[in-house]
A and B are shown apart, each in its own frame.
Chain A
């Protein structure tokens, strides 16, 4: 039990970094602390100090370790490789540094990446920010999405994400996947609106016009920013190949901002127009709607997964029980979308 809940060990982390950086001397991990958020991984911040060529150096770093339980069941190798590919492609992401799959090193697999500066909100872009900051972040948000969707996954070496067999596959695969997670994590309960949503998604799959790299959680709250715009897009653990409307639909869901601003960034129709300008592709309203229904259902299922892990003792994160409080809004949006009210 003690090992299961132990926090990242400073001494072991230092020894590990010594091995990974044999050219350096006098390694020292400073200010190791766990961060809130990032519920799919335990996230730690620290500075690494070392000397090299007679010079003292310091680098801010982030360690992301597999959790004992949590919101999402994803593979850290996949996430690390995606971030590495995005970094090579020049997208705004933290530089990935080391991936360790051997669980004996730090109790569970983990990876280390650069710690980008900047701040982040929890959900919608903070209303208190300056209008000029909001405008720059909104522009960057869609510019980065356009760049992501312009990448060829083969050239990025991301065949590991599992190319779809055809253009009908992405919608079917996503609906089937999240429906399976729902069946697994509903703990015997029945949620009529959610059951209806998955039936609708399976009965109404859309056909994409192209296959792109999908971030899978592209939204306000998952980037670092300052007054000059976005510094880094975070949380790539749900990345996969699919329909470009999936990320656009998720980012503009009502759930991330109750008012008319998509993600708290920009009025929705203006948001879609800017997307079209930046990508050169039309927003397909039918596919967008499908992925917004999927998005609400997926978010509700992610909440159920976190609640189940808490109830069954796989996580002690005290944020998990709060996920129940998010469900009524998701159900309300789904009921409106599916004309169930």
Chain B
């Protein structure tokens, strides 16, 4: 393994900011920026570890959700809704190597829109809601439930 690892580099940069830069900064604004940089490096270190698993779970769930929607058949997905095309695109995107996540999320946006507008069959809506619920759980686990600071 090459050393330092990315995590070790990040930890080292945090110490550099804390121990070498911060004591030299006289402006409260600059001190605040330095503290933010330390915190965001912590977030980056965490993301380096957890983001691959998050991404893999997202793709797996999207693929499974679209497969389930396909199994419902055309009876549940009306032609005029435009969702048949979105579903075909998503199935194609999920079969690629690597899967085209953006295309899958674009298709999910079309399905979520149909559910929000009340244009989706209830069995379709059940699958879409299931995915969104799991997606939110994963996002909250990854990024936390932060308070606004803006």
By a beta-carbon cutoff of 8 Å, the part of chain A in contact with chain B is 33-36, 39, 71, 122-124, 188-193, 195-197, 199-200, 203, 221, 255-256, 299, 302-303, 306, 317-319, 321-329, 331-332, 335, 338-341
| Chain B residues within 8 Å of A335, by CB | 132-133, 136
**What does the 1/0 interface line of B86-120 toward A look like (CB < 8 Å)?**
00000000000000001001101111110111000
Pairs across A and B, CB under 8 Å, 25 listed: A36-B28, A36-B29, A71-B150, A124-B147, A190-B102, A192-B108, A192-B113, A192-B132, A196-B112, A196-B113, A200-B113, A255-B148, A318-B40, A319-B33, A321-B43, A322-B36, A322-B146, A323-B150, A325-B146, A326-B150, A329-B145, A335-B133, A340-B112, A340-B115, A340-B116
How far, in whole Å, are A188 and B136 apart by their CA atoms in the complex? 20
Q: Are A317 and B33 in contact, CB atoms less than 8 angstroms apart?
A: yes
| Chain A residues within 8 Å of B5, by CB | none
Q: Are A123 and B147 in contact, CB atoms less than 8 angstroms apart?
A: yes
Q: Are A193 and B112 in contact, CB atoms less than 8 angstroms apart?
A: yes
For A324, the closest partner residue in chain B by CB is B143
Known: A190-B108, A319-B33, A340-B115. 6 other contacts (CB 8 A): A122-B147, A192-B111, A192-B112, A195-B110, A199-B113, A319-B149
Q: Are B148 and A331 in contact, CB atoms less than 8 angstroms apart?
A: no
Known contacts being A35-B29, A322-B40, A331-B136, is A340 close to B148, with CB within 8 Å? no
Shortest CB-to-CB span from A152 to chain B, Å, is 32
B23 within 8 A of A: no
Q: Are A325 and B43 in contact, CB atoms less than 8 angstroms apart?
A: yes
Interface on chain B toward A: helix, strand, loop, or mixed SS? helix
Shortest CB-to-CB span from B117 to chain A, Å, is 6
Q: Which residue of A191, A192, A319, A329 contacts B36 across the interface (Cβ within 8 Å)?
A: A319
Shortest CB-to-CB span from B25 to chain A, Å, is 12
Known contacts being A33-B29, A328-B140, is A203 close to B117, with CB within 8 Å? yes
B139 within 8 A of A: yes
Q: Are A34 and B29 in contact, CB atoms less than 8 angstroms apart?
A: yes
Q: Which residue of A256, A317, A327 contacts B139 across the interface (Cβ within 8 Å)?
A: A327
Q: Which residue of B106, B111, B133, B148 contacts A256 across the interface (Cβ within 8 Å)?
A: B148
For A203, the closest partner residue in chain B by CB is B117
